[in-house]
Amino acid sequence: MNNTTITAKMAHDRADAVHQSEKDLLLRRVYQSIMDAAIDGRYRVEFEIHDIEIGNYVFNSLTSNGYYVEIESEQRTELQDIVKLVIGWENVTFTNDKKYLLPLDNTEFAGPDDEVVRAYAYKEDGCWAVSLFREAEAENFAFVDEEDLDDAPEWAKAIEPVEVND
């Protein structure tokens, strides 16, 4: 039997990392909803978020990137918090650049259910990062565009880009 001791700080750090990952995942879904709506010619989308802290995170991220965001409603119950955001982007410029993945060599491994997981470099909120993604999800969350590649730091430019086919 393997006895692994986990300190309270380690448990707290792990919980924080999971919570940050949840916030980032939801923010990516919001951005994807915005892109889908923009492609359809719409300039507004409504999004319900079932956690007030995550709702504030999404609100702050979007407003710092020039989006008009209105908190239409905020409900707190014993079982659930709901924040309804109305997001507008009439004055935000979208580009139709190709999308690329930047997979790091020799980082793949079998994840849950034998799914391939690997590390990808990507840019989020103006910062470059490396994170693990399931191969099937990477093109939705870990992509960069041509402008990102042009402005990338040298370590990211050294990674061979793989074009994402929509």
* Residue 166 banded pLDDT, cuts 50, 70, 90: low
Total domains, the chain: 2
Q: Do 79 and 14 belong to one domain?
A: yes
The contacts of residue 5 (CB under 8 Å, 6+ apart) are none
SS3 53: helix
Q: Among 32, 63, 88, which residue terminates a domain?
A: 88
* 22 and 83 both lie in a single domain: yes
Residues 19 and 79 reside in one and the same domain: yes
Helix or strand or coil: residue 30?
A: helix
Mean residue pLDDT of the chain comes to: 83
Query: Does residue 131 carry a pLDDT above 60?
Result: yes
Quick check: 136 pLDDT over 60?
yes
Residue 22 has pLDDT above 80, yes or no: yes
pLDDT at 141: 79
CA dihedral sign of residues 113, 115, 117, 120: negative
Burial class (CB in 10 A: 0-12, 13-18, 19+), 28: middle
pTM flag (> 0.85): no
| Residue 88: CB atoms within 10 Å | 16
Q: How confident is the model at residue 156 (pLDDT cuts 50, 70, 90)?
A: very high
Range of the domain at 25: 8-88
Give yes or no: residues 82 and 114 share one domain: no
Q: Is residue 2 part of a domain?
A: no
Residue range 58-106, pLDDT digits in tens: 888 888 777 888 888 777 777 777 888 899 887 666 555 688 899 999 9
Q: Cα–Cα distance between 159 and 113 in angstroms, integer? A: 28
Listed residues 88, 112, 130: the one ending a domain? 88
7 vs 96 pLDDT, higher one: 7
**Is there a single domain that holds both residue 105 and residue 156?**
yes
* More confident call, 12 vs 59: 59
Residue 1 lies in a domain: no
Sign for the pseudo-dihedral over CA of 18, 21, 27, 31: negative
Answer yes or no: do 73 and 120 share one domain. Answer: no
72 lies in the same domain as 120: no
* pLDDT > 60? residue 1: no
Query: Tell me, what's the pLDDT at 106?
Result: 92
Q: By CB neighbour count within 10 A (0-12 exposed, 13-18 middle, 19+ buried), where does 138 fall?
A: buried
In a domain, 93, yes or no: no
| Residues 75 and 122 both lie in one domain | no
Last residue of a domain, one of 88, 114, 139: 88
